[in-house]
Structure formats: structure tokens, C-alpha cells
Amino acid sequence: MTETPLTNGSNGANDTSGRPADTRGGEAAPGWFSRLDRDVRTAIALFAISFALIAASRVLGPNFGSLAQMKAILVISSFLMVVAFGQQMVILLGGLDLSVASMMTLGGVLAFKWIGGADSAVVWGVPAILAVTGALGACSGIGVSLVKIPPFIMTLAMGVILYGVTLGFTQGTPAGQPSAALSSLFVSTPLGAPILYLMVLGTAAGCFLQMRTSFGRKVYALGTNPTAAHVAGLPVHRLTIATYAISGASAGLAGILMLGYVRGVTLTLGQSYLLPSVAAVVIGGTSIVGGRGIYLGAAAGAILLTTLSTIVSSLGIAEGWRTIIYGAVIFVALVLLRDDFALLIKRSGFRSRTQP
């Protein structure tokens, strides 16, 4: 049996990635970008596309493409980034959370009622709201993991129930006061709004949780092969429940932040974030069947979608068309992320012409 060569033709050194080395001569060494992890390359590409779109929007008017607009887009994208983190954790398991819109609305409504204008209430109000939304997310996880209800059905039902509960709780009109402490996160300063720094810290924390903790590695393992994870003795039920709890808490946090930004809530507060939360995760390189993806890509996807939405809104395009654009972006991303599509590209002559 012929073994796969493990050395190159020049020095016989093993490839540092552990993969079979390329034995073809006359080919230049790959650049630094090619040596990066695939998910990291996707994230960098999305950040670059977002920047290019902002710069290109300059043609729409003098107020577009400026540093101020870039800061505004980053601030607006913070809500989607928070929701996308929880959504991505669920998708990494191979699931889907359709309750994030109702959970986000509930978080905003509770913050409007419990925190109100009392800044001191932020200290206990925010953890209490995250505990409530996290517990409700855990209920979805219990339904998926223990009762074996498909994630699509379970989270859809949870979303409908939460909307009904919120409607009954508010009688159709949320009562409360805006919080000055939450609004201060979005006040512009010469160094930028505080929310921008929280975005950076949050992104770093999300990446650390996924890639550098035992919990994160177990989530990847469970999403890659649930059967093997169960055989290996991983706490499958606890991991699933905890992941859905994280998604619920993330959506609740996004609702709290939205209250600080708009200084008010409605029963449709989170409605426009359901589809974009999935789109941000998918175009960020996360496999819809689970087991692959990083939060940096989802964050980049959120910024790209916010950039697109801002430009589309400035062109006066209706909300319906924006939804169509989101759907098209998800479809294109799913096609481009297919392994067989990548193989087709490689076989179509896009490789270096110097190869023999």
C-alpha cells in the first residue's frame, strides 16, 4: 500500500499543520493570510468588506463613509452581536433558537419596569433579568435535550409563549422609565461611546469561552458528533441546557442594551433581530449543522449586516426588501460554505497557474 508523502521535496520537514505536505516543486510558499485558520480568514474578510462598503457609501452623500458613521454602525451592530453570540452557541450544537426575538423583547420590558429611572437598580436589575431569560432559555434546552422536541419546534413554541406572556404582563403598553445609566453607554465621547469598548471586551470574552475553556471545547465536540460525545461520557444534557440558557441570557442582555439606546420599549423590540441573528452566524463561517465556527466570525457578520442595513435604509428601500437581502445573504453563505463547493472552486482553475 502506498503511503501519503509527509515531507516536501526540498528539506523533508514535516508540515506544521499535521497534514500531508505538498510535494510539487516550483510553488511559492503560502502567504500569512493563507496560513491563518479558515474561520479567522472568514472573519477578516467580512471586516474588510464592511470597511469597503462604508468607504464606498461616500458616493451617496457627504455624511456617508465618515468616521462618525463608522462609529454609529458599530454602536448599532452591538445589539446584533450580543444576540448572535447566543444564537451561535446553539447552532454550534446543531440547533436553532427561534425564541431570541421574544426573549429580547422580554429583557427590554423587564428592564423598563424593574430598573426604570433608578440607576441604583441596575446593580440588581440586570443580573435578575439575565437570570430570568437564562432560565427560560434553559427550559427550551430541557425540551430539546430531555423531551427530545426538535429545536425548531421547541424554540418557536417558547417564542410564541413568551410573546403572549409579555403581552399579558404589559397589557399591550409597556410601563416604566428609561434608565440614564444604561443610556450613558451610548453617549458619544472624543474616545467613542463606552459601548464600543464593551463590544471589544465582549467579543474577546466570547472567543475565549468558545476556544479556551473546557465548556467551549465540549460544545464543539457535541456539535461535531453527538453520538461520540455521549459515548465519551460528556454531559450531553447539561451542555445542551446550558447552551440554550446562554442564548436566552444573551437575548435578554440585548434587550436591556436596546432600552438604553432607544430609551423606550415596544412589543416588537426584538422582532427584527431573529433572521439577522441567524444570518450573522452563518455568513460568519459557522456550520449550520454544528461543530464549526468562531464568535469572531459571527461578530464580523453582525457588523457586515448592520452596514448593509444602514446603506439600504439610506437608499429608501422598504423593510420587505431588506428581509429579502438577509435571506439572499444566508443562501449565498450556505452555498459558499459547502465543502463540495470549495472543492469545485479548487478544481475550476482558480489555483496558481504555476502548478504543473
Cell of 12: 523533508
Is the per-residue pLDDT at 1 higher than 60? no
- For 243-286, write each residue's pLDDT tens digit: 999 999 999 999 999 998 988 888 889 888 998 999 899 889 89
- For 8-51, write each residue's pLDDT tens digit: 444 444 444 444 444 444 455 556 666 677 888 888 888 988 88
Rounded-to-integer distance, Cα 153 and Cα 176, Å: 33
Instruction: Locate the domains of the chain by residue range.
Output: 38-46+63-338
Question: Is the sign of the CA dihedral 309, 100, 216, 74 positive or negative?
Answer: positive
pLDDT of the residue at 7: 43
Rounded-to-integer distance, Cα 90 and Cα 145, Å: 12
3-class secondary structure per residue, 8-65: CCCCCCECCCCCCCCCCCCCCCCCHHHHCCHHHHHHHHHHHHHHHHHHHHHHHCCCCC
* CATH no., domain 38-46+63-338: 1.10.3470
- For 129-170, write each residue's pLDDT tens digit: 999 999 999 999 999 999 999 999 999 999 999 999 998 888
